[in-house]
Amino acid sequence: MTRVFHEQGILFGYRHPQSSATACILSLFQMTNETLNIWTHLLPFWFFVWRFVTTLYVTDVQNDSYSWPLLVYMSTSCVYPLASSCAHTFSSMSKNARHICYFLDYGAVNLFSLGSAIAYSAYTFPDALVRTTFYDYYVTLAVLNTIVSTGLSCYSRFLELQRPRLCKMLRVLAFAYPYTWDSLPIFYRLFLFPGESAQNEATVYHQKHMVLTLLASFFYSAHLPERLAPGCFDYIGHSHQLFHVCVILATHIQMEAILLDKTLRKEWLLANSRALSFPQIAGAILLCLIFSLINIIYFSAALYRIPEPELRKKET
């Protein structure tokens, strides 16, 4: 097994590093060290699709502009689990396919980050921050964050073998700082206690979401428990599976919090906040998609520009 496919603390259960697409799909029904990575996001994908479709069914999309940010958020919550499960499914086709799969995965995660920011700007901002400069530029900077984060996370894969610690640090940073930016209104609301309208039943859900996100970050960066007992958690219970479970639970809790804020704060928000228009929402999503794809195409092309002797040197 070449080093590019090897995961810390995982000794067994690897698929052939040049699997066909058919073999990758069939591996969903075989026990490998990727099987639960796939299913822990593939099954929630269908759950989030069901949530999105049922919400779409009861919403007057054309006239209910107040619900547009929610629908954008819920659609992006469907994209990232699907992209993740596809990445884990097809990552064993070749070393370059593995990198490209995860480039797409990173782009989907950042699209979800932007979807969260759009929903937060519409429903969760505390009273004191509505109609401030921070509020006005919050989504704009969230778009910039997704572009930089996608580029940084893609670049980190080129350091995976030669400088693994720097690679992990850059990748964690690439996902941590957009989350931190997106969550600033929540942090303000939880810890500085402004305005009565922002203090409702959703607050507890925001707290739970924060705890689950921190727990997911811990599993992603620590490689526990498999690092302490290599070979014992190859198929069930390794850190990436636990990371997936925490991320999905965090998204579910976040969705409940946003739905509560949307319902309970509707009267106050409609009277006091400046809602995002359709062109603003569509423009933000479009910019994110365009520049993320540019990042992905650039770094994918770079994989084929690396001289073959250098590739062999990195893999040994």
**Residue 187 maps to a domain:** yes
pLDDT of 1: 58
Q: What is the pLDDT of residues 87-115, one digit of tens each?
A: 999 999 999 999 999 999 999 999 999 99
pLDDT of 316: 45
Amino acid at 253: I
**Residue 20 maps to a domain:** no
Angle (CA) 104 71 291, round 5°: 35
Contact 122, 69 (CB under 8 A): yes
**Residue 26 maps to a domain:** no
- With b meaning 16 or more CB within 10 Å and e meaning fewer, what string describes 162-177? eeeeebbebbeebbee
What average pLDDT score do residues 191-200 get?
68
**Residue 27 maps to a domain:** no
How many structural domains comprise the chain?
1
Q: What percentage of residues in the chain have a pLDDT greater than 70?
A: 95
Least confident piece of the model among 20-29, 119-128, 196-205: 196-205
pLDDT band at 312 (very low <50, low <70, confident <90, very high): low
pTM of the model: 0.93
**Residue 10 maps to a domain:** no
pLDDT of 124: 94
- Sorted by sequence, the CB contacts under 8 Å of residue 156 that are 6+ apart come out as 166, 167, 168, 170, 171, 174
Q: What percentage of residues in the chain have a pLDDT greater than 90?
A: 84
Q: What is the pLDDT of residues 134-153, one digit of tens each?
A: 999 999 999 999 999 999 99
- The answer to whether residue 311 scores a pLDDT higher than 60 is no
**Residue 165 maps to a domain:** yes
Q: Which two tokens stand for residue 182?
A: 């997106």
**Residue 79 maps to a domain:** yes
**Residue 211 maps to a domain:** yes
Residues of the domain holding 124: 32-304
Average pLDDT over the chain reads 93
Annotated binding site for Zn(2+): 88, 240, 244
Annotated binding site: 88, 240, 244
Check which CATH number belongs to the domain holding 73 and give it.
1.20.1070
d(CA 290, CA 181): 21
- With b meaning 16 or more CB within 10 Å and e meaning fewer, what string describes 6-44? ebebbeebbbebebeeeebeebeeeebbbbbbbbbbbeb
pLDDT of 309: 47
- The answer to whether residue 310 scores a pLDDT higher than 80 is no
